Amino acid sequence: MPASPIRKLVPFAEAAKARGTSIYHLNIGQPDINTPEVMLDAIRSYDEKVVAYSHSAGLLTYRQKIVKYYKALNLDIGTDDIIVSAGASEAILFAVNSCLDAGDELIVPEPFYANYNGFSISAGVKVVPVTAHIETGFALPAIEDFELLINEKTKGIMICNPSNPTGYVYSREELEILSQIVQKHDLFLFVDEVYREFCYDGREHVSVLSLPGLEENVVVFDSISKRYSACGARIGYMISKNQEVISTAMKFAQARLSPPGFGQVAASACMEVPASYLENVLNEYDQRRRVLVEELRKIPGVICPEPGGAFYAFVQLPIENAEHFCRWLLEDFSHEGSTVMLAPGSGFYSTPGSGRNQVRIAYVLNVDDLKRAVAILAAGLERYTELQVETA
């Protein structure tokens, strides 16, 4: 199993904290936004006598609420098309294990959410990357690039829309291109939509569930973790109209017995969360996004494409080895008692050597902290470059 690039610098961060250095965490997608009160209240007023297992596919009452959520989006999903899981993470594991055999190949545009690697490796599946480029803001690679990689072992394509780590929001045209490819080659199309509500500047999120003719191909992942700032509730789900996929995934779901009980209590209350909650959350992230991009672009040599969704930016720094730099920031640098923690970019690629001068930045801090963190990053880059010159 590869180490998570998001977490592997944690020991250096812990050591820095032990030395008294405070750290601005831009490395992990843990929102700082309060979880909606109605969800917390639902847990506080839990009055069952036994904390029991639920149905392996998740509480029917919760799945009915998910159906209602999609109905409001004009998407016709049935309770039997849904398996509730311990976060989207478990849903991805179920899907990869259900749809691919060991030795099969999964094409994933890179940079990608690094855990897709771990989930695939644990199923014996080979991730085959198709590279998206910073120059195009990490848009979908050309159809020819996909076609070149497809062979008899290819069983699916996995995308994240909006993307973690790039913030790219796929257009309807791009999704239609993918639709053509998967139909032509009879592949699965796995789409991670956990950031589906997080689109900025009027960008429209097109769910792959709305594309006609893909019912047998599509598996969607979703989660309450980011949308309702409820990462610890561990509730997500997979959706597929392909009943063979669902019945195979149910074997995995039954083997692990049931999704989390308290989490489903919290998740069931989501439907009562007022629309204003998400509007405020989106405004907050949008403001942070603008500040982050503006401040980063002031730093000489930094390239920051505009992220259209999620809450990440994938950024090129004027250095050679971002992993070394990120570690140095934690081990050897502080600015007025503080430093920043970033996720090195190379861990989001599977092509060796790619992303070496890139980092992922999560804008999960308030605007003031974010400005301060970018100022520290700028000071760190300046000092690091001086040191490189001195040692050269």
Phi, psi (deg, nearest 5) at residue 157: -125, 140
Query: Which is nearer to ligand PLP, 174 or 295 (by Cβ)?
Result: 174
Return the sign of the alpha-carbon dihedral for residues 210, 215, 221, 222.
Answer: positive
Residue 77 or 93: the one with the smaller Cβ distance to ligand PLP is 93
Q: Does 164 bind ligand PLP (CB under 6 A)?
A: yes
Nearest Cα residue to 162 out of 183, 192, 189: 192
Q: Where are the beta strands (DSSP E) in the chain?
A: 22-25, 82-85, 105-110, 126-131, 154-160, 188-192, 218-223, 236-240, 312-316, 338-341, 343-344, 358-362
Cα dist from 234 to 1, 53, 64, 204, 225, whole Å: 22, 15, 19, 27, 7
Instruction: Select 137 or 232, whichever has its Cβ closest to ligand PLP.
Output: 232
- Minimum distance between the CB of residue 267 and ligand PLP, rounded to whole angstroms? 11
Q: Is residue 259 close enough to count as binding ligand PLP by CB under 6 A?
A: no
| 322 contributes a contact to ligand PLP by CB under 6 A | no
Among 16, 26, 84, 88, binds ligand PLP (CB under 6 A): 88
Instruction: Tell me the DSSP string of 204-237.
Output: PP--GGGSTT-TTTEEEEEESTTTTT-GGG--EE
Q: Smallest distance, Å, CB 30 to ligand PLP? A: 8
Size, binding site for ligand PLP by CB under 6 A: 13
Binding flag, residue 160, ligand PLP (CB under 6 A): yes
Smallest gap from Cβ 194 to ligand PLP, in A, equals 5
Minimum distance, C-beta of residue 192 to ligand PLP, in the bound complex (Å): 5
Q: Which is nearer to ligand PLP, 227 or 372 (CB)?
A: 227
For the CB of residue 162, give the shortest distance to ligand PLP in the complex, in Å: 9
Q: Is residue 345 within 8 Å of 134, Cβ to Cβ?
A: no
Q: Considering only residues 198-257, where is the footprint of ligand PLP by CB under 6 A?
A: 223, 225, 231, 236
Q: Is 190 left (phi over 0), alpha (psi -120 to 50) or beta?
A: beta
90: closest CA among 252, 290, 210?
A: 252
Q: What's the token pair of residue 264?
A: 């489903």
Q: How far apart are CA 29 and CA 364, in angstroms?
A: 7
Please state the closest distance from residue 165 (CB atom) to ligand PLP, in A.
8
**Smallest distance, ligand PLP to C-beta of residue 167, A:** 11
Stretch of 56-64, 84-92, 94-102, 208-216 lying at the interface with ligand PLP (CB under 6 A)? 84-92
- Look at residues 91, 90, 73, 72 and name the one whose alpha carbon lies nearest to residue 82: 91
Q: Least CB distance from residue 173 to ligand PLP, whole Å?
A: 22
Cβ-based nearer residue to ligand PLP, 167 or 236: 236
Minimum CB separation of residue 112 from ligand PLP in Å reads 9
Compare residues 75 and 231 and give the one whose CB is closer to ligand PLP: 231
- Whether omega before 111 lies within 30 degrees of 0, making that bond cis, reads yes
What pairing do the DSSP bridges indicate for beta strands 312-316 and 218-223?
A: unpaired
87 vs 309 by CB, closer to ligand PLP: 87
**Sole binder of ligand PLP in the list 8, 13, 29, 364 (CB under 6 A):** 29
Task: Give me the 53-82 binding string for ligand PLP, x by CB under 6 A, dash otherwise.
Answer: ------------------------------
Q: 30 or 210, CB closer to ligand PLP? A: 30
19 Cβ contact partners less than 8 Å away, ≥ 6 residues apart: none
Q: How far is the CB of 164 from ligand PLP (least distance, A)?
A: 4
- CA distance readout (Å), 229 to 42, 52, 166: 15, 25, 20
Residues 323, 342: Cα–Cα separation, whole Å: 9
Judged by CB under 6 A, the chain residues 90 through 129 that form the site for ligand PLP are 113
Residues binding ligand PLP (CB under 6 A): 29, 87-89, 113, 160, 164, 192, 194, 223, 225, 231, 236
